[in-house]
């Protein structure tokens, strides 16, 4: 009996079956399975759905060894695409925000490589065409962290990643939207409503509250109501009372919908969205789903949940174990 078991256990057919199952799982089923557990945010028809993509950081053409590069790019692009397709279906967004570090080697690569990466980017993050889009750059795209922000790359970025916004069309009649670049203190108005304003959203690649006191003071004084940021690859929420001098941080739960009010009568909220790439050295990756619903002329209800992604490195480990077994 034991002998027979050993024989089956070691037979090629058995190992082959395991390999087929693990390929089916990792390359096809895992994302679908995970998406079954994503929280659904129920909103009425006057709510706006926003899908937030942080730090996809598409692998470039220089940092990988030449023989790893093509496979690494292929695998990581595919991972981003599978997750994004699911997130798109799940959130049915009116607006998709890309919070910077879209590519990894924007700063260190050539302009041709920048264009090649942008082309791959638009193939990966293929939308239905009806979503509004906001692209902001991060330090890996145009610099800023340990060097100056490069104006030529900023222009290139705008040309390759054009935003399209008309917030009044998606029930955000009274909302304006600014891009804050903390690295050079540039504040750009991305969208302004024609009516009286009640929400002011700031999008920033780097988190503002925990690190940039001067910027926080500035956006707080201009009555901002919501900040969205990325950069650290982890999920956090920061809150500051309107007239308070300090802020508080809380970790965002991964299986939960957070809900709260935003507006000038409510605390300033910052949501930091984790990376969607498995290459960033963190165990948990996700897309972010934000739903904004009007409450009254001054206030909106914001609901936020993470759409977690499978752990690609565990899948690759299983492949390696199975292949060494053969």
Ligand X SMILES: *[C@@H]1O[C@H](CO)[C@@H](O)[C@H](O)[C@H]1NC(C)=O
- The binding site for ligand X (CB under 6 A) comprises 166, 168-169, 222-223, 264
Give CA–CA dist 171/93, Å, rounded: 13
- CB of residue 203 vs ligand X: minimum separation in angstroms? 18
For ligand X, give the closer residue by CB, 81 or 223: 223
Q: Quick one: CA torsion of 135, 180, 273, 78, rounded to 10 degrees?
A: 30
Give CA–CA dist 293/271, Å, rounded: 17
For ligand X, give the closer residue by CB, 63 or 166: 166
For ligand X, give the closer residue by CB, 19 or 264: 264
For ligand X, give the closer residue by CB, 69 or 193: 193
Q: Which two tokens stand for residue 303?
A: 């609901």
- CB of residue 290 vs ligand X: minimum separation in angstroms? 21
Q: Which two tokens stand for residue 152?
A: 């030529």
Residue labelled with tokens 């916004």: 165
Give CA–CA dist 320/60, Å, rounded: 24
- CB of residue 245 vs ligand X: minimum separation in angstroms? 17
For ligand X, give the closer residue by CB, 164 or 319: 164
- CB of residue 221 vs ligand X: minimum separation in angstroms? 6
- CB of residue 249 vs ligand X: minimum separation in angstroms? 24
Q: Give the residue ranges of DSSP H helices in 97-183.
A: 111-124, 139-142, 151-160
Cβ-Cβ contacts under 8 Å for 260 (sequence gap 6 or more):
266, 269, 301, 302
Q: Which residues pair with 261 in a beta bridge?
A: 301
For ligand X, give the closer residue by CB, 243 or 246: 243
What are the two backbone dihedrals, phi and then psi, of residue 198, each rounded to the nearest 5 degrees? -130, -15
Q: How far apart are the first and last CA of the chain?
A: 23
- CB of residue 193 vs ligand X: minimum separation in angstroms? 10
């Amino acid at each position: 009996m034991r002998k027979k078991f050993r024989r089956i256990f070691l037979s090629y057919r058995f190992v082959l079956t395991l390999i087929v199952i693990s390929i089916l799982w990792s390359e096809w089923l895992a994302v679908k399975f995970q998406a079954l557990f994503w929280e659904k945010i129920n909103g009425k028809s006057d709510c706006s759905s926003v899908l937030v993509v942080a730090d996809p950081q598409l692998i470039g053409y220089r940092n990988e060894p030449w023989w790893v590069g093509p496979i690494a790019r292929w695998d990581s692009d595919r991972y981003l695409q599978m997750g994004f397709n699911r997130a798109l279906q799940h959130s049915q967004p009116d607006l998709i925000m890309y919070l910077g570090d879209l590519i990894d080697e924007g700063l260190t690569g050539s302009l041709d490589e920048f264009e090649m990466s942008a082309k791959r980017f638009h193939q990966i993050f293929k939308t239905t065409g009806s979503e509004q889009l906001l692209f902001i750059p991060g330090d890996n795209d145009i610099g800023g962290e340990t060097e100056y922000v490069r104006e030529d790359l900023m222009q290139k970025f705008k040309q390759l990643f054009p935003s399209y916004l008309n917030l009044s069309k998606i029930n955000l009649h009274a909302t304006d939207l600014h891009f804050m670049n903390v690295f050079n203190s540039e504040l750009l108005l991305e969208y302004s409503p024609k009516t009286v304003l009640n929400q002011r959203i700031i999008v920033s690649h780097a988190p503002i509250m925990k690190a940039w006191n001067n910027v926080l003071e500035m956006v707080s004084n201009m009555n901002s109501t919501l900040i969205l940021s990325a950069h650290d690859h982890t999920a956090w929420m920061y809150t500051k009372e309107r007239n308070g001098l300090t802020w508080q941080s809380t970790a965002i739960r991964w299986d939960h919908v957070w809900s709260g009010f935003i507006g000038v009568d409510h605390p300033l909220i910052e949501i930091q969205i984790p990376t969607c790439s498995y290459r960033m050295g963190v165990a948990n990756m996700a897309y972010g789903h934000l739903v904004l619903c009007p409450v009254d002329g001054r206030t909106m209800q914001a609901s936020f949940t993470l759409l977690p992604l499978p752990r690609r490195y565990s899948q690759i480990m299983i492949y390696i174990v199975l292949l060494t077994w053969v």
